[in-house]
Structure 1
């Protein structure tokens, strides 16, 4: 197959996306596909024209990709790199090469990638892509909306609410609590508040990223994640940060967390969490694959945190570890995702 691996963009998860894209690119090439890695925002400005020969040309598509830093990427610095200075999310020739491909492998994370807008554009243009469609992407990206869908499908969530900028603390008085941007990812802008003063600061930090935030009761306990492919749950993985909580640094800096797969749970707990994961996947109308995150408190009660419709595929990512337990190495997982995504277009 001729495949475009689409990564980068202008999300706060840009660095993560580029590493995901690099690993997927390398795997698909090893699997025998003709593959190019393209930055959604920077595009192919160095090329005057593009043709289908681009998929077989000799070129190092990963030469400019660096590692993931402990800090969020500077998006303004990224925008300054673009020669045409346009704010168009699609860089030079991006849509052209995507139209030439047999499949676009979506290695994007966060806004302008995981929120459904790129998927909607591709649907209008008849471009096939991996992962779920635009509507379920948008629903899953908004944590305030997805909470309501989970509740309506009997998927347990923590007590919480949404707040908009300018609404103040709106009478919230449950501490500790967790504050997070509604549509962010990779725990960017997420804080734990233990009192009113910390809560106000947490709100300010979250509102720096978006105008709407989710506030939830902090659940003390164990954190888990469950991959779901074609509606069926994979083995559960437990994530235990060595310090603090599972924030941006702990997610992407090697050695920051202890990850155990399969998670050490009773058979009943395993079945229940996998059932909730499948139910959350169905509640949002997700197709192909996703990853559902959970907390379990000290009494054993489970709470669904969110659904990730384009989960990370970095060296420390969770979905590849879960797939490995059932016999799929990273290269096989990438082809599995291609297969289940292609099936969307043959229904």
Structure 2
């Protein structure tokens, strides 16, 4: 244990015991996860938590027991971290973990099933079609484009960070984009493109944090816009009128609850030119670097990054 950890433990957070901050892993979002995990680890140590890094790509999960860890903060993005498989394994090990449980993680990770649940409850989401690798007919692309308005987003059903996504405006592009998306997933979401502004609402312990608006000169808010470009602009507060802000927060909470989300997370939206909001997707382990969206919203609420890290740890207290 470092000197910093020894000093911090005297502050009184020993009730959490030895905490594993799990990050890295083997998903396509490994690099993002490494950045999130390292930031949260620093934040927890600064708050007096006896916390340590744990990369499941390098250590078997059973080592959590042999090393006497008592709680797990999940900072694994994408498959293996957000899809319910890790959550189920930790439940079998009887280790409390942060955030959403098995069912909610699986639902939120799957963009198609998320939309189907929201649609069944009358929550607003853009029109869509599904492409299945087992029976995809390239000849259907013309009809799909016509039905969805001749401009669509193509998304692998279970990838995050905009990996494998593409914006297309003709049938030939659609066929290519679907085949590219099939490299990541056997099912692909084809979603009507909504012209307008993108927003996100972070959720922490049953409350909606201030919304954030994002704008980019790129075709859409893709991986480069999220993690590499300096041209992406974030606004928090987003500038929405107070009543609209309240309504958007309520919609985010409804959408998260509908998918059995819990603890903390983030809901992404598009607002069209008429001011209508459409649900895009749910995130149960959002990015947690110093520049990520959830920390930005928390800061607007008066919460430091270190305090936010501790709040995420506190979600391990929830009974499952």
Matched residue, 1:47: none
How much does 1:152 deviate? Answer: 2.3
Matched residue, 2:241: 266
Is 1:96–2:63 an aligned residue pair? yes
Matched residue, 1:58: none
Written as runs of structure 1 = structure 2, the 5 A alignment for 1:87-166 is: 91=60, 94-97=61-64, 100-165=68-133, 166=135
How much does 1:255 deviate? Answer: 1.8
Q: Secondary structure at the match of 1:172?
A: helix
Is 1:289–2:264 an aligned residue pair? yes
8 Å contact 2:71–2:316 — kept in the other structure? no
Is 1:26–2:23 an aligned residue pair? no
Q: Secondary structure at the match of 2:244?
A: helix
Q: Secondary structure at the match of 1:271?
A: helix
Q: Secondary structure at the match of 1:322?
A: helix
8 Å contact 2:97–2:315 — kept in the other structure? no
1:276/1:98 CA distance change after superposition, 3 Å:
farther
8 Å contact 2:72–2:316 — kept in the other structure? no
**1:110, 1:98 → 2: CA distance?**
24
8 Å contact 1:254–1:316 — kept in the other structure? no
Matched residue, 2:312: 337
Specify every segment of 5 or more residues in structure 1 that has no aligned partner in the other structure, as ranges.
Answer: 44-90
Matched residue, 1:241: 216
How much does 1:153 deviate? Answer: 2.5
RMSD: 1.4
**1:242, 1:25 → 2: CA distance?**
33
**2:232, 2:152 → 1: CA distance?**
22
8 Å contact 2:167–2:219 — kept in the other structure? no
With structure 1 as the length reference, what TM-score do the two structures score?
Answer: 0.82
Per-residue Cα deviation, 1:192-224 (whole angstroms, up to 9, x for no partner): 010011111110111111110001100111001
Specify every segment of 5 or more residues in structure 2 that has no aligned partner in the other structure, as ranges.
Answer: 1-16
Paired residues in the alignment total 296
1:146/1:297 CA distance change after superposition, 3 Å:
same
Q: 1:168 aligns with which of 137, 155, 163?
A: 137
With structure 2 as the length reference, what TM-score do the two structures score?
Answer: 0.89
Matched residue, 1:9: 25
**1:267, 1:325 → 2: CA distance?**
15
**1:341, 1:256 → 2: CA distance?**
36
Written as runs of structure 1 = structure 2, the 5 A alignment for 1:249-264 is: 249-253=224-228, 255-264=230-239
Per-residue Cα deviation, 1:77-128 (whole angstroms, up to 9, x for no partner): xxxxxxxxxxxxxx4xx32225621211100000011000000011111011
Is 1:231–2:176 an aligned residue pair? no
